[in-house]
Chain A
Amino acid sequence: MESVPLWESANRLRLDPRGRLFVGGLFITAVILTRTRPALIAESLLLALGIFGFGRGKVRRSSLHLIWPMVSAVFAISFLAFGLEAATDLSIRLVNLFAASALFFQTLAPEELAGALRSLKVPDPLIFILMTALRYVPLLGRTLRNIYDAQTARGIDVRLRLTNTPRLLALLVPLLVQAFMLAENLAMAMESRGFSREAKGRPRLGPISSRDILFVALGIAAFIGFLFWERRGP
C-alpha cells in the first residue's frame, strides 16, 4: 500500500498548521517539564504508540536509530557523575525529546511550518534558515553515508569503534568541506533567484476554525492535566 505523509493525514482532518504547531510545542514542553519516572515512562509509551501507530504515515523510525550513540554517551557520563537513577531518567527524557520532535516534524509539512511561523510574525530570514536546515540535513546525512562508503572502500576503517576514533577525521573533514561547498552553491542559487528581493503576495493561511480551537483547547487541557497528575503523583 502506498504510504502517505503524516501531514497529509492531518490535512485531511483540516487542522490548521498554527494549531498543530502550538499543540506540538505543548507536547515538547511537557516532555521537558516532566520530573518523575512514571510520567516519563507514560510519555515514552504514548510516543511509541504515536510513532508505531503511524507506521503507514511514513514516520522515519530509522532516523531515530541515529540517537542511540548520543543517548549512550549521556547515560555513561551521567551514570559516572550522578548514579544509575539519574542516568536512567536523563536518558529516557532525551529519548522522549527526540521522539516527540520527530513526531512533531512529521505532522507539519515544511511549507506549513513556514506559513504558521510567518503568521506568528517570525522574521523571514529566520524562517528561511529553519527551512533550509530542514531541507539540507537529510542531504548532508546522505553525503555522510557516501563518505563512509568511499573511505571504507579504500581501506580506511571508520566503523564506530573506540580504536577507530582518530580516523573519524576521515569522515568529518570531507563532510565539513562539502557542507561549505554546498553553502556556497546555495548562496549563488539564492542570489541568482532573487532572494534579496522582498517577497510579496505570499498566500495567507485561512481563518482559524472552531475545529482548530477545539483541538488547541484539548491540547491545553491535556497538557495541564498531565502536569497536574504528575505533580500530585500517580
Chain B
Amino acid sequence: MIHLKNAAYRYPSRQGTAPWALDHIDLNVHQGEYVVIFGPSGSGKSTLTFVLNGLVPHFFGGEFFGEALVCNHAVPETPPAVLSEQVAVVLQNTDAYLFCATVEAELLFGLERSPIPAHQYDQRIQEILAFLDIEHLRHRAPHELSGGEKHLAAVASALCLKPHIMILDEPFAHLDAPNRSRLRQALAAVNRAGTTVIVAEHLVDDFLLDVDRCLVMEKGRVRFDGTPRQTLPHLMEVGLVPQYPQPPGEQAPLGQESLLKVSEVSFYREGRPVLDRVSFTLRAGESVAVTGPNGSGKTTLVKILGGLLKPHEGCALWNGRDIHKIPPPMRVRHVGVSFQNPNDQFFKVQVEDEIWAGPKILGKKGLPADREWIEHICNLFGVRPLKEHSPYRLSEGEKKRVALASVLAMKPQVLVLDEPTAGQDGRFRRELAELLLCLSKDLGIAVVVVTHDKDFARAVCARRLLLDKGRLVEDRAMVPSAEEV
C-alpha cells in the first residue's frame, strides 16, 4: 500500500541548502494497518504524512529523492488531486480544513469531485455520519462545533470517498480527554472497517492500545519501528514522555495575605451562567491548577482574573480593588495572563523588542522597567540567545517561552496560563514544569494553570480547583496519584 525507499526531502530555502526534513527513510505499510508516527516538533512526522498524499513535493516544492509509491502511484509524478481519491488526509488545523458552510457541504465537496453518481450522495452522507454517530451535526456550521466535533466532521469528510488510506496530522494533541476518547473510538472503527490509518502525533495517550505499529522519528529519520509494547523507552529517549521534576508535595511557605480574592463571581452568556458563584483566594507563591471539562467556564475565569471581563455578579479583587477597573498596563504588574496561542502576542521584528514592548509602555507612564528582573527572566527562559531572531521564525516551544517571558517582564505577582501545554511536545512540557516551579518556589509568584493535562498539573501545582458547568465543585490539595484531573 505504501512503499518508501531511501526517500529524502528538503524544503525550499532562500538561505543556501536546507537540512533534510526526511533523511533517507525506508517504510512499508500494508493494507488495514493502524500506524502511529511519533516524534517531537520538527522531527519530520508531518512532512512524512505530506509525502503520502503528494503535498510533498507538489505543493511545497523543494527537493525530493528516492522512491515513493502510494496505492501504486509514484508520488513525485502524481499530484495530490489524483491521490486524494485514495488517500485522505486530515490536517492539524481543522479551521482551515473545514472550509464549507455546513458539515453536509463538507462531505458534498469531496463527493462532487469524485466519480460517485449524484443520486448516491445523500445515502453516502447518511452512512458516514451514522457510522461516526454525528448525524446531529449534519446541518451545523463547522465553526460552531467543539474541537472534538470538528475533528469528527473532518474525519467524516475524509471518509466519504471511502479512501484506502486515512492520514491524520496531530489529531489528539489539542483535544480534552472526552473528545480524545471519542476520536479514538472513531479511528478504531475506521480501521476495523479495513481502512489503513496513519496518525502523526506527539501526544502519548490511550489510543496507543488500538495501534498495530509505532514509528518514532527524530531529525528526519525513523529511529524505531515496532509494536506499541516496545515503544515506550524510545518515546522517553526522544522526550515525548515527559519526565517531570518531583511534584511539590510540600508547598513552600506561602505569603500570609491573599493576593487575589474571587468572591461569588457569576458570569452569564445569552442568559445562561458560564460561571456560577465561584469563590476562592490566592496567596503569594501558590500554584493552582484549574481543571474541568470543555465549556465548564475555565477560559471565562481566566479572563476575569486578568481583568478582561467584568463579572456580572460578585467581584474579583486585587488588594480590595476590582481587577477590571485597574488600567491595563498597571493591571499586568499584578496579574499577567498568557493565552494558548503565542502568535496572538507577537508584533515586533525581534524577540528582544517583543519582551521590552510592555515595560517600555510602563516606562512612558513613569514606572521605569526593572532591567535586572527582565535580564533574569530572559536567562531563566533561555531567550537570550534568541533575542535577535524574529519571533515568528521560532519553534513552537521557543515561541511559548518568549510569550511567557514577555508577560513576566512586567513583573506580575500572579501568572495565569491558559492551556500552556496544548500542542507542545513532552520535552517542552518538562521544561515548562521546571520553570513554573522555579517561579512559584524561588520568586514567590502565584501561578494559576488552566489545563487538561493531568500529569502536568500534578507536576506543577499543589492545589486543584475543579470547575463543572460553571460551578467550583472542588478546591483541595493536589494528590500525586493516578486520580483523574
Contact = CB atoms under 8 A, between A and B. Distances in A.
A145 to B, nearest CB: 10
Interface stretch (A24-32, A69-77, A85-93, A199-207): A199-207
Given A149-B308, A156-B357, A199-B112, A182 B96 contact: yes
Contact of A135 (B117, B143, B327, B346): B143
Interface in B324-349: 327-329, 331-333, 336-339, 341, 343-347
Nearest to A192: B89
B328 A174 contact: no
Nearest to A178: B343
Interface in A104-135: 109-111, 114, 131-132, 134-135
Contacts of A156: 328-329, 357-358, 361
B81 A174 contact: no
Contacts of A138: 143
B105 A199 contact: no
A11 to B, nearest CB: 11
B219 interface: no
Nearest to B105: A111
B346 A155 contact: no
Contacts of A135: 99-101, 143
B344 A174 contact: yes
A195 B81 contact: yes
Interface string B380-415: 000000000000100000000000001100100000
A173 B392 CA distance: 11
| Interface SS of chain A | helix
A154 B355 CA distance: 10
B85 interface: yes
Interface in A144-168: 146-147, 149-157, 159, 167
B339 A149 contact: yes
Contact of A203 (B59, B95, B121, B332): B121
19 contacts: A135-B143, A139-B143, A146-B339, A149-B337, A150-B344, A155-B362, A159-B328, A167-B361, A170-B357, A172-B347, A191-B55, A191-B59, A191-B81, A193-B84, A193-B109, A193-B110, A194-B81, A195-B113, A199-B113
Given A111-B102, A201-B121, 10 more contacts: A134-B101, A151-B347, A154-B410, A172-B347, A173-B347, A188-B96, A189-B97, A192-B55, A194-B110, A201-B116
